[in-house]
A = this chain, B = another copy of it.
Amino acid sequence: MSDVAHAAGVSTMTVSNVLTGRRRVSTQTRTRVERAAADLGYELNLTARHLRAGRTDTVALAVPFFDHPYFGELAARLARLLAPEGRHLVVEQTGPSREAELAAVTRARWQLYDGVLLSVVGMTAADLDDLRTSVPLVLLGEQQMPARYDHVRMDNVGGARLATAHLLATGARRIAVVGGAEPSADAGMMPARTLGWALAHEDAGAAAEPGLVVRAPADLASGREAVRRIVRDGIAFDAVLAVTDTLAAGVLAGLAEAGLRVPDDVQVVGFDNLASSELTVPALSTVDPGHEHLATEALRLLDVAVARGPGRGADGAADAPRHVTAPAELVLRATTRERRG
């Protein structure tokens, strides 16, 4: 920068002023400076600016996996909200395992950001409790979190309940939960959605059979595998609640393989409303977890955290942390039947 200043015959301060536009500079010197900068191929050093300013105008989204479409869509939404304000979003990966997630978190990396949206999957409440950081933080995730953090989540129980109720109303009697788990509101996504399934049965005065809870990891191959298993075991079922759209895609593949027609023989509902789910064959009925609401709220929370000053993000002595739940909504497409009546 001093090179530019020298070439333009001014001080570095003036160069800085031209670049930031914070102070008025005569048109004459401005053009001289701009010329000099262009000639020298000068590039502002953002690292230095950030150090000086104590701000970076950048928010990080830390996700467990780069390659899950859910996070890609979330990132795109957040970027769209941040861009008009001249703020930036960068995405970092915390890692595929609980250990990696922890290690990522321990690293002082996010000192580099004004705030961090942390998508929690593998970490436990205890892990998070150890996490002392002064960077404004908002947690995204479905399990129980320490109360002292701001936290945004979906309405997993409500969404699954809605979906299951619809299946019941369309005549389904034996609804398998692929990706199911021990029902619980606080133990993560799978237990919460399974709870919704159970509650919907209760609402309808029907029995939720534990034998229809099919455990499966939330990866690509598992949905198909799960269907193969229940078919092989001769378990009767006339509908599937897949706890994620990814699992649902596998379920559809498995059903096709088994010669079962959707929705005539078996109805299917997913959860997440991924963009790609519109294109499954048949088009997937699913639960929309309130993506837009979720993204908006997460940023709003982060902004108030940033506003009340970095440096006391963790001790939370100031305001009470906020917890918001985005409302879920049922999206009916072609893998379910019409409601009777």
Contact = CB atoms under 8 A, between A and B. Distances in A.
Contact of A72 (B68, B83, B249, B253): B68
Interface string A28-72: 000000000000010111111011000010001000011111011
Interface in A198-221: 220-221
A280 B223 CA distance: 12
Contacts of A68: 72
A223 B112 contact: no
Most buried by B among A51, A88, A282: A51
A112 to B, nearest CB: 5
Contact of A93 (B51, B65, B76, B250): B76
Contacts of A67: 69, 72-73, 75-76, 275
Nearest to A69: B69
B278 A220 contact: yes
Interface residues of A, number: 56
Contacts of A283: 253
B76 A108 contact: no
Most buried by B among A60, A75, A133: A75
Contacts of A249: 276, 279-280
Given A72-B69, A75-B66, A224 B279 contact: yes
A109 interface: yes
Contact of A253 (B75, B79, B281): B281
A111 interface: yes
A68 B44 CA distance: 31
Nearest to A111: B46
B41 A132 contact: yes
A202 to B, nearest CB: 33
Interface in A221-254: 221, 223-224, 246, 249-250, 252-253
A276 B220 contact: yes
Nearest to A247: B279
Interface string A183-200: 000000000000000000
A76 B65 CA distance: 7
Interface string A73-98: 10110010001000011111101000
Contacts of A41: 132, 134, 314
A225 to B, nearest CB: 11
A304 interface: no
B279 A223 contact: yes
A256 interface: yes
19 contacts: A45-B51, A45-B111, A46-B108, A46-B112, A47-B47, A47-B112, A51-B51, A67-B275, A72-B72, A79-B93, A88-B109, A89-B93, A90-B91, A220-B275, A246-B276, A249-B279, A252-B281, A253-B279, A253-B281
Given A45-B108, A66-B76, A223-B279, 17 more contacts: A43-B133, A46-B112, A47-B50, A66-B73, A66-B75, A66-B79, A67-B73, A67-B275, A68-B72, A89-B92, A91-B91, A220-B275, A220-B279, A221-B278, A249-B276, A249-B280, A253-B281
Smallest CB-CB A-B distances: 6 pairs: A67-B76, A66-B75, A66-B76, A91-B91, A67-B72, A249-B279
